[in-house]
Amino acid sequence: MSVPSVVRVIDVSKSYRLGAAVIAALRGVSLEVEPAAMVALAGPSGSGKSTLLNLVGCLDRPESGEVTLGGLRVSHLPAAALNAIRRDRLGFIFQSFNLVPVLTAFDNVEYPLLLAGVGRHERRNRVSELLDRVGLASKHRRRPHELSGGERQRVAIARALVNRPALVLADEPTANLDSATGASVLDLMDDLRDRLGVSFLFASHDPRLLDRMDRVVTLKDGVVDASVSRRDREVEACA
């Protein structure tokens, strides 16, 4: 039996009202993310990247079309069911880290497990394992203001993975990092993809990130302008 895609977006459209005007953010967009894949959404500001990320993350609903996560149709589920899906099946990494400033690195990573009702012993084991994996075992008691930008992003990555999601959504995860730190964070996510089998869906302008993707889907004016695999890019580079 074939393994279902982590994400399938089928012919989705979404528009917003801005005053008297209606802005078409997405128009008939389709997308697929396979297990243990790294896929990026690229394109200029206003192309629809963030809107598509929000639809996949169950933060918004399409006006038409369908979004499925692991074979489950989610587009028309009630709010309570979507909350459970975000908690149990998805991880989120934000450009601005979104860590709770008064909590330690350990407590920030542990927080989603508290919300999910995971027992204390299991919480401690999972958080300690992930902080070790992201290279922060010795800094687990530090608060965000005591960490560098790269370290804060590592905490955010650990927090996104602590509920063992099939998919992590990352909005411009390297935008606030210098080149060396951004490369280190990308190395970490690539390693976690290989070790844990998690898929990543990014929205990014960063060429350093785009060069490392299995597939880059470029949006323009709310439609898919191009979808290029790593192999396609390598063949083009050798031509």
pLDDT, position 233: 75
SS3 135: coil
User: Nearest CA to 112 among 133, 132, 136, 88?
Assistant: 88
Dump pLDDT digits (tens) for 187-212. Answer: 999 999 999 999 999 999 899 899 99
pLDDT band for position 176 (50/70/90)? confident
Quick one: which H or E segment has residue 92?
strand 90-93
pLDDT, position 234: 75
Region of 7 (left: φ > 0; alpha: ψ -120 to 50; beta: rest) is beta
- What does the alpha-carbon distance between residue 110 and residue 201 come to, in Å, rounded to a whole number? 23
- What does the alpha-carbon distance between residue 48 and residue 43 come to, in Å, rounded to a whole number? 8
Tell me the average pLDDT across 31-37.
Answer: 95
User: Nearest CA to 26 among 225, 229, 228?
Assistant: 225
Tell me the average pLDDT across 104-123.
Answer: 95
pLDDT, position 56: 97
Give the other-Cβ count within 10 Å of 27's Cβ: 17
Locate tokens 């080149």: which residue? 179
**pLDDT above 90 as % of the chain:** 77
All residues at 6 or more sequence positions from 110 whose CB lies less than 8 Å from its CB, including other chains: 123, 127, 162
pLDDT band for position 236 (50/70/90)? confident
Dump pLDDT digits (tens) for 36-46. Answer: 999 999 999 88
Dump pLDDT digits (tens) for 62-104. Answer: 999 999 999 999 988 999 999 999 988 999 998 888 999 999 9
H helix intervals, the chain: 49-56, 79-89, 105-115, 120-133, 149-161, 179-196, 207-210, 230-238
Higher pLDDT, residue 1 or 116: 116
Which domains, and CATH codes, for the chain? 35-62+76-238 (3.40.50.300)
**pTM confidence score:** 0.92
Q: What is the mean pLDDT of the chain?
A: 92
pLDDT, position 232: 79
SS3 97: coil
- 162, 126 contact by CB (below 8 A): yes
pLDDT, position 239: 63
**pLDDT above 70 as % of the chain:** 98
